[in-house]
Amino acid sequence: MKRILIASALALGLFTISAGTAMAGPEYQVSYKVPSKSDSATLFITLGNAASTTFFNISSISGTWDGHAVTGLSNYGGADNLFSPLGAPKGAVQYFTSGGLSFVSDGLSINLGGTYAERKVPYVELISNVDPTGNFRKIPAILTVTEVPEPGSFALLGTGLLGLGLVLRKRQKRASRA
């Protein structure tokens, strides 16, 4: 009985800890690669409040852009920093609005525009303050968006596997006594 009580308290503690981390909002990994160049990025974006039926505000960003750390969001290039998890071609016309996602990396502001479904190869509009005229380039790119599982899901899975292992161990001990 004492073991069950301790196991229950431990499971409740894990659930309480994981519930606090899950409140941050869904997180997505956006991987960006330009086949013709060495440009690449891995960005982790966390969604905040809904801005419309398909787009959500991006509340935080981290990751790397061409090997440099991403230090935060910006509004460079008129970015509205909205993201649609539906993305192209499943639901929304694009992952980002035409205002795009803007962030700072290595002291530079970078803006990624939409990836449109009607194109055979997704592209992003890359605006960077490297060019003082504010010109932008449409760059064919491979953009991969995947949802990052929340830590609470892993904690729940681990608790379930631990419980299953304990039940199987107990059953095995009983079988060996008989």
176 lies in a domain?
no
Nearest to 108 by CA among 58, 59, 68, 62: 68
Per the structure, the complete domain to which residue 132 belongs is given by 24-148
Residue type, 11: A
Whether the CB-CB separation of 12 and 128 falls below 8 Å is answered with no
User: pTM score > 0.75 for this model?
Assistant: no
Burial class (CB in 10 A: 0-12, 13-18, 19+), 51: middle
**Is residue 77 in some structural domain?**
yes
* Band (112; pLDDT cuts 50, 70, 90): confident
The 10s digit of each residue's pLDDT in 124-162 is 555 454 444 555 555 555 666 777 766 666 677 788 888
What's the rounded Cα separation, in Å, for the pair 135 and 13?
Answer: 53
99 pLDDT above the threshold of 80? no
Report the domain count for the chain. Answer: 1
